[in-house]
Amino acid sequence: MTTPTANQKLLNWVDEVARLVKPAHVEWCDGSAAEYDRMVETMLKDGLATPLNHAKRPNSFLFRSDPSDVARVENRTYIASKSQDDAGPTNNWMDPDQLKLEMRALYDGCMAGRTLYVIPFSMGPVGSPIAKIGVEISDSPYVVANMHVMTRVGTRVLDVLGDKGEFVPCLHSVGKPLAPGESDNGQWPSAPLAHKYISHFPEERLIWSYGSGYGGNALLGKKCLALRIASVQARDEGWLAEHMLILKLTSPKGVVKFVCAAFPSACGKTNLAMLVPTIPGWKVETVGDDIAWMKFGADGQLYAINPEYGFFGVAPGTSKLSNPNAMAACETNTLFTNVALTSDGDVWWEGIGFDPPAGDVIDWKGKVWDKKEPAAHPNSRFTTPASQCPAIADEWQDPAGVPISAILFGGRRPSTIPLVHQARSWNHGVFLGSIVGSEVTAAALDLKAGTVRRDPFAMLPFCGYHMGDYFKHWIKIGEKAGAQLPKIFFVNWFRKTADGRWLWPGYGENSRVLKWIFEQCEGTGKFVETDIGIMPSVDDFDRPDSVSKEDLAELLKVDHEGWVKEIADVRAEHYPKFGDKMPKELWAELEGLEKRLAK
């Protein structure tokens, strides 16, 4: 078999894996449209894909995963650093030698009857100084097709890699070998939960995944490489790998600012990345909706790329009201997973904004929907090319990245946290990022309703090393950069009154908050200094007609009593988790805030 590379390290690794997993065939992916079509055709033949109505949803397909394989499996996700202390208290740790022993036993012969696909991919524009190359070995045509959409795949990546280039080896198997003559026969291939492993070896820059064919467990360029492994690379090399959107904000005068934002799940990250402003003359365009890699340019400023090539969006709740640009992006050339199928061959999900047409709706499990449970799985997805988003920015593939003026943190907080406030300094901004959290609803079984679930920097499931060291890395970035640093803000679209009424309409009206942030970066904003940070002046803030002056005053009020409770929770429940690795600078920020509020 001829191979499209002379990179001996890569060739040796592929040969070593093939001898272990024993596939029927080995195939090197070239990234072509014909290859993508062939993957889809293979899955149609195996009964794993359903073609959608071409007139309604051209070149789009529906997949249904096994009910046991519908989301990331955080309790089976490991950071196998040599020292357990390096993994820290927020990660599952396992001894790397023991983990490899267990996984090698599972990998032995696991690709029997299947094709081993070698998927060379670039996270970021091919050849960008900020990009990284990975190579995923997988036995799943679903993974190949999704990687085509989510990353830059193929021969051009191998050309940049060259004979001596470095890459991150990513090994994946669905964990379901086939006997001679056996096929999947329409059954999504995966292994039982006890045999699922999503394993990261940070010192070796190595990823091994077994037993799941779904999303972040199987598309190893996404959370595994772009966040867990890249966060370790970023620490070692002096840059940032973050769970952040990147948007381009243009004022009526044509002045441009680029903004990054980190929110926990279900806090509107994709909606903000593709926002349609309600203020005349302002424009928001999308650079990325999920991950940002930021490195310093020669001018000392942080430049960001979106390392991804597509969107892997959550379908439920996405509508023409909440995100018209996402809806337009997935009109064609889209892979849908675990959504419902309508009688006219289109897709449907809860929160899509309209009722399904007459006739039977087939739910995500392949049964006629009885309306007793959701028709689409709450974590159902669409995989669609970023280039199809009507709001995609011209700069989204600039290999140099875009200069970042502001970084936003946020969470779902019905009380205490105001609509927007700005950090007093870089370290104060790192403090705000370190205490990010969302209030738990009654639907969460593991925490009492009303408790704040802390998700620092929205990186809790994705930081590949000790989070105390991660906080320290952010502080060091500030010491390295000096005056060119982005300004840091905290936003909260989710304030409610005591009787549960929303105080802020959100969606396109969030552009009014972006406008104030823009003005702060320009040095033209109207603001007041408060105990918790810099805030808009109530009288000068661009208030929408739907929000009363009284409600705006409430949204921009410093809730002293609430902040005292917030500080007490951080001091007692949050910061102690990180032990002696908790940076003294953040303890100092906590104490400074405490003293200001006590005056």
pLDDT of residue 448: 63
Question: 122 has which bridge partners?
Answer: 133, 152
- With contact defined as beta carbons under 8 Å apart, do 71 and 137 qualify? no
Q: Which helix (H) or strand (E) holds 248?
A: strand 245-250
Q: Where are the alpha helices (DSSP H) in 152-311?
A: 155-161, 215-218, 230-237, 269-273
* CA–CA distances in Å: residue 256 to residues 174, 387, 395, 397: 45, 21, 12, 17
**541-564: pLDDT as tens digits:** 999 999 999 999 999 999 999 999
CA–CA gap between residue 16 and residue 516 (Å, rounded):
56
- With contact defined as beta carbons under 8 Å apart, do 347 and 52 qualify? yes
CA–CA gap between residue 293 and residue 24 (Å, rounded):
38
Q: What is the CA radius of gyration of the chain?
A: 24
By C-alpha distance, which of 272, 326, 309, 315 is closest to 387? 309
Residue numbers of the chain with a pLDDT score lower than 70: 1, 441-450, 481-483
Backbone angles phi, psi at 591, to 5 degrees: -70, -35
- With contact defined as beta carbons under 8 Å apart, do 520 and 422 qualify? yes
Q: Say which DSSP state 86 is in.
A: H
* Marked catalytic residue, from 267, 389, 463, 521: 267
Number of Cβ within 10 Å of residue 597's Cβ equals 17
Residues 6+ apart with CB under 8 A from 530: 421, 558
Domains and CATH numbers, the chain: 8-50+70-237 (3.40.449.10), 242-309+394-598 (3.90.228.20)
Q: What is the dihedral of CA 51, 53, 57, 59, to 10 degrees?
A: 40
Which burial class, exposed, middle or buried, applies to 160 when counting CB atoms under 10 A from its CB (0-12, 13-18, 19+)? middle
- With contact defined as beta carbons under 8 Å apart, do 486 and 405 qualify? yes
Q: Examine the residue annotation and report whether 330 is marked as an active-site residue of this protein.
A: no
Extract the tokens encoding 461: 């499931």
Q: Which helix (H) or strand (E) holds 527?
A: strand 527-529
Residues 6+ apart with CB under 8 A from 309: 149, 150, 151, 152, 385, 386
Residues 6+ apart with CB under 8 A from 550: none
Question: 200 has which bridge partners?
Answer: 79, 207
- With contact defined as beta carbons under 8 Å apart, do 245 and 269 qualify? yes
By C-alpha distance, which of 290, 371, 302, 278 is closest to 326? 290
CA 589: distance to chain centroid?
28
**43-96: pLDDT as tens digits:** 999 999 999 999 999 999 999 999 999 999 999 999 999 999 999 999 999 999
By C-alpha distance, which of 396, 417, 421 is closest to 406? 421
CA–CA gap between residue 275 and residue 205 (Å, rounded):
36
The end-to-end CA distance of the chain, in Å, is: 75
Q: What is the DSSP string of 412-459?
A: --SSSS-SEEE-SSHHHHHHHHHT-EEE--TT-SSS-TT-EEE-GGG-
